[in-house]
């Protein structure tokens, strides 16, 4: 029997089975789905209510006034001014998170975030048209079984790597500052060096790169030669204080640095703000010599 005849006879048998024993989708299957969906939503609403009404505004009242059966409402108040927060996804997104380290902005990130998922989706759509045998035994489906195992292994591997991946610590970036000062030629300008330290500690390198250090994330440009663009110290200062005024809504506002006095390496007060030394550092960055 040729493959096409086999398929025809299988399809015929399927149609007969449906006629004999089948039930229409509406209302049978739809009723089941509706009931089950309502149960799931009900459980979520129930758990959310228990969590909300057993916890109080203040996490410290847990165990006392409030039982906090399902955990406190929050553990720490959000700090909108933080600049050294290292964003990490929940564990079940670690594999995607790690893909972003393999595919670097800007060259291949489109491949990693759009290209590969699209290809996988197309394969998933095409599958019912390609895999038309009615065979379901795993031992007779080597391609599907091997593919599934490979997917599980690679997701496991990526999840593990994402879990143990280290972010560049501020202290490691700070350690690179003397080398920056040397290569950019501002080692004799204590204000620029102080600004480089603010830059290294302020979390700028979680998005920007500087002489090979840093993330290169979210489309943030390399700043190693920012001083050669002719913006001037004043221009750079107002940019960093509030980038949204210059059409940059990705970068946080660092205006708060204007009220923190800058210190040099010996801890001596430089008499100007951290925002100012940051701008002096950027202006002194004319690219490596």
Residues contributing to the site for ligand HEC (CB under 6 A)? 199, 202-204, 206-208, 218-221, 223, 226, 229, 236, 239-240, 247-248, 250-252, 254, 278, 282
Neighbours of 42 (CB within 10 A): 10
Helix (H) or strand (E) holding 209: strand 209-210
- Rounded Cα gap, residues 279 and 282, in angstroms: 5
Minimum distance, C-beta of residue 215 to ligand HEC, in the bound complex (Å): 8
Minimum distance, C-beta of residue 79 to ligand HEC, in the bound complex (Å): 15
Minimum distance, C-beta of residue 172 to ligand HEC, in the bound complex (Å): 16
- Shorter beta-carbon distance to ligand HEC: residue 156 or 219: 219
- Shorter beta-carbon distance to ligand HEC: residue 73 or 229: 229
Q: How far apart are the first and last CA of the chain?
A: 77
Minimum distance, C-beta of residue 84 to ligand HEC, in the bound complex (Å): 10
Minimum distance, C-beta of residue 6 to ligand HEC, in the bound complex (Å): 58
- Shorter beta-carbon distance to ligand HEC: residue 55 or 274: 274
For helices 190-201 and 274-284, give the axis angle rounded to 10 degrees.
110
- Shorter beta-carbon distance to ligand HEC: residue 208 or 276: 208
- Rounded Cα gap, residues 225 and 221, in angstroms: 10
Max CA separation in the chain (angstroms): 91
For residue 2, the SS3 value is coil
- Shorter beta-carbon distance to ligand HEC: residue 61 or 248: 248
- Shorter beta-carbon distance to ligand HEC: residue 72 or 203: 203
Minimum distance, C-beta of residue 257 to ligand HEC, in the bound complex (Å): 7
Minimum distance, C-beta of residue 94 to ligand HEC, in the bound complex (Å): 21
Minimum distance, C-beta of residue 209 to ligand HEC, in the bound complex (Å): 11
- Rounded Cα gap, residues 59 and 74, in angstroms: 6
Phi, psi for residue 81 in degrees, rounded to 5: -90, 0
Q: Exposed, middle or buried: residue 263 (CB in 10 Å: 0-12, 13-18, 19+)? A: middle
Q: Check the CA dihedral 244-247-249-253 and report its sign.
A: negative
For residue 271, the SS3 value is strand
Residue with the two structure tokens 């750079």: 236
CB 74 within 8 A of CB 55: no
- Rounded Cα gap, residues 82 and 181, in angstroms: 26
- Shorter beta-carbon distance to ligand HEC: residue 71 or 219: 219
- Shorter beta-carbon distance to ligand HEC: residue 161 or 229: 229
Structure token pair of residue 257 = 């640095």
């Amino acid at each position: 029997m040729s493959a096409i005849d086999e398929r025809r006879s299988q399809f015929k048998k399927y149609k007969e089975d449906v006629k004999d024993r089948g039930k229409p989708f509406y209302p049978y299957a739809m009723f089941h789905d509706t009931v089950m969906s309502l149960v799931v939503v009900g459980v979520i609403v129930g758990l959310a209510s228990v969590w909300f009404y057993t916890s109080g505004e203040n996490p410290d009242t847990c165990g006392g006034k409030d039982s906090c059966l399902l955990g406190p409402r929050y553990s720490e108040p959000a700090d909108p001014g933080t600049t050294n927060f290292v964003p990490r996804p929940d564990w079940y997104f670690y594999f995607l998170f790690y893909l972003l380290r393999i595919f670097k902005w800007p060259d291949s990130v489109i491949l990693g975030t759009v290209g590969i998922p699209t290809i996988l989706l197309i394969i998933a759509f095409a599958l019912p048209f390609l895999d038309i045998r009615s065979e379901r035994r795993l031992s007779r489906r080597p391609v599907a079984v091997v593919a599934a195992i490979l997917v599980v292994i690679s997701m496991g591997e990526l999840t593990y790597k994402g879990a143990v991946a280290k972010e560049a610590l501020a202290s490691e970036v700070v350690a690179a500052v003397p080398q920056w000062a040397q290569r950019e030629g501002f080692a004799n300008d204590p204000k620029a060096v102080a600004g480089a330290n603010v830059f290294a500690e302020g979390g700028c390198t979680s998005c920007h790169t500087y002489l090979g250090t840093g993330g290169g994330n979210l489309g943030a440009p390399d700043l190693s030669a920012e001083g050669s663009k002719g913006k001037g110290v004043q221009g750079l200062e107002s940019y960093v204080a509030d980038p949204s005024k210059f059409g940059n809504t990705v970068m946080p506002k660092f205006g708060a640095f204007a009220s923190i006095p800058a210190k040099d390496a010996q801890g001596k007060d430089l008499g100007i703000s951290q925002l100012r030394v940051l701008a002096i550092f950027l202006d002194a960055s004319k690219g490596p010599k």
